[in-house]
A and B are shown apart, each in its own frame.
Chain A
Amino acid sequence: MNANDHDHIKKLLRQSLPPVNSDEGPGRDLWPDVLRRLDVGVVAPASPGWAWFDGALLAGIVVLVAIFPAAIPVFLYYL
């Protein structure tokens, strides 16, 4: 393959795959993705002291005690 052939195929390649316009940056902020990938910075939400089940149980007990005050000694016994 001589220099002419080389230049010809380069020209054909540039016609087939034109250079990209790389002036524009990414379409969005990639920093959150980087943080996710690193698993730093984005601190996982601390495990709440009260899970929804705990809240529901407490609410149930309060309602039960309000309706049946006589149940209080039973609860105290089992605590």
Chain B
Amino acid sequence: MRNGTSGVLNLFRQGDTEAFEALFRQHQRAVYGWILRIVRNPATAEELTVETFWRIYRSHARFDPGRGFEGWARRIATRAALDWLRAKKTESELSMESCAEVAAPVEADPAVSTEIRRKTALAFGRLPPKLRIAATLAVIEEQPQKDVAAALGITVTAVKVRVFRAMRLLRKDLEKQGIRP
């Protein structure tokens, strides 16, 4: 199995499309799931999964089989999602209504009104994409910080700094709207 896997990885590195398809079949679900966590919209996640695998194939010659495919793919997926966040003004797409179909059920705190939650979601959408993506993965999705760091190509400390800055900006934005979190 190990030899088989490394064989596929080596073939992929040489640009073999059958090996690429095998890797696509094996990893598309994970890549899609990771992107969905960031963009919170199934149609966009599908579009970006295609974009990610296109980028992956385009970069096949730079792939290092010794370092594994999953982490590399996740990093490219994160970059594709970040590019998308930068290109789009996604405030409205981060509203609670738009992500309701993909959001896991969560017990709503009765002390927090729907209006406050809506304003918080909109304020979060106004954060700079680099901060938003770190906070989405580390805070909302509760992914391990080392995974977030690897996906973003930064250190764990840098993830912590970005999350801290995101929370501080979010708090300031909410305070401007008269909400004291």
B-binding residues in A (CB < 8 A): 1, 5-6, 8-23, 25-28, 30-31, 33-34, 37-38, 40-41
Contacts and interface: CB of A to CB of B under 8 A. Distances in A.
Given A19-B104, A30-B49, A33-B50, A1 B40 contact: no
Interface string B160-181: 0000100110110010000001
Given A10-B167, A30-B50, A25 B139 contact: no
B105 A18 contact: yes
Given A26-B42, A31-B28, 16 more contacts: A5-B181, A9-B170, A12-B181, A16-B96, A16-B116, A17-B124, A19-B103, A20-B40, A22-B33, A22-B36, A22-B37, A25-B32, A26-B46, A37-B51, A37-B54, A38-B54
B17 interface: yes
Contacts of A5: 171, 181
B87 interface: no
A69 to B, nearest CB: 56
Interface stretch (B78-86, B106-114, B150-158): B106-114
B147 interface: no
A20 B103 contact: yes
B61 interface: no
A13 B104 contact: no
Q: Which residue, of A8, A18, A20, A23, has the highest number of chain B Cβ atoms within 10 A? A: A20
What is the predominant secondary structure among interface residues of chain B facing chain A?
helix
A18 B46 contact: no
A25 to B, nearest CB: 4
Given A15-B117, A38-B57, A25 B167 contact: no
B106 A1 contact: no
Contacts of B69: none
Among all A-B residue pairs, the 10 with the closest Cβ atoms:
A22-B33, A16-B120, A18-B106, A25-B29, A16-B117, A18-B103, A37-B54, A20-B102, A33-B50, A21-B104
B5 to A, nearest CB: 20
B50 A13 contact: no
